[in-house]
Amino acid sequence: MNRLDELLARQGVVILDGGLATELERRGADLRDPLWSARLLLDAPDLIRQVHVDYYAAGADVATTASYQASLEGFARRGLDAAAAAELMRRSVTLACEARDVFWADPAARAGRMYPLVAASIGPYGATLHDGSEYRGYGLDIAALIAFHRPRLALLATAGADLLACETIPCREEAMALVQLLPEFPQMPAWVSFSCRDGMHVSQGQLLAECIEAIEHCPQIAAIGINCTAPQYIASLVGIVASRTAKPILAYPNSGERYDAAAMCWHGGAGTTRLAAHASEWHRLGARLIGGCCRTTPGDIRALRAWAQRRSG
């Protein structure tokens, strides 16, 4: 049994963290850069660590690292050699582990809590393009996607995280590429979560049901679900996932705003959803790992933790 399974067995529900990059922006970080939040691994690691601490303190059982948009190619474009880029990738995990140590050192913080996890974020190929492709998809084949992801997985799978978070995946081929790579790192469980354009289709346009069927056989996949998708679609999507797999289901939507990749900003107004207000429905439909993605905050996670506590009675 992996540590995520242990948390689920003990708690019934696992609370994930919320948006990392957008929370860093909310605290004053300028992320108008092709590296996005990964730039702060260079420039402001203390701020990344503090955001992780604050999410743990708000009630998150899992912190997701600042490696979503990190890649060897992206760091190379900034003039870093392979060794320096690899060190920054590992630093993303180290910062989350250090934040967990800070949080867990307080006896009051540990009351009623299980030891939290660190998930190494594996963003999609499109995230490194910095053009919003993870919300549209792209035409790379499985072989090209395997070649892109292999060195990232090799670094992050050995950096000290508890599991891999393969997230915001826009198409079946990329999910299949990741699943084909996982046996090269047999010690690492992983979750896979898709970005979706509506209540039935992933961002590239394929049916979510077909994407789930293509990967759910993989024994290393500890959970499957949806992230960085408008909250009004989550109930329908969770129902589809539940009809195609018996694995635990993830649901961590964004705030409901729309990302403008050209202007590098969000439209629609902050706070357009309240995660805790929807959690009971998502849980009823099968979601067992619930949190937030872009533009959600520690306040949203605090409300989810309070919901989980009321639920457990």
Query: In the predicted model, what is the mean pLDDT of residues 106-110?
Result: 93
pTM of the model: 0.94
Q: Which of 129 and 104 is assigned the larger pLDDT?
A: 104
Domains parsed from the chain with CATH numbers: 3-312 (3.20.20.330)
pLDDT at 22 (0 to 100) = 87
3-class SS letters over the chain? CCHHHHHHHHHCCEEECCCCHHHHHHCCCCCCCCCHHHHHHHHCHHHHHHHHHHHHHHCCCEEECCCCCCCHHHHHHCCCCHHHHHHHHHHHHHHHHHHHHHHHCCHHHHCCCCCCEEEEEECCHHHHHCCCHHHCCCCCCHHHHHHHHHHHHHHHCCCCCCEEEEEEECCHHHHHHHHHHHHHCCCCCEEEEECECCCCEECCCCEHHHHHHHHCCCCCEEEEEEECCCHHHHHHHHHHHHHHCCCCEEEECCCCCEEECCCCEEECCCCCCCHHHHHHHHHHHCEEEECCCCCCCHHHHHHHHHHHHHHHC
Task: Grade residue 130 by pLDDT with cuts at 50, 70 and 90.
Answer: confident
Task: Grade residue 228 by pLDDT with cuts at 50, 70 and 90.
Answer: very high
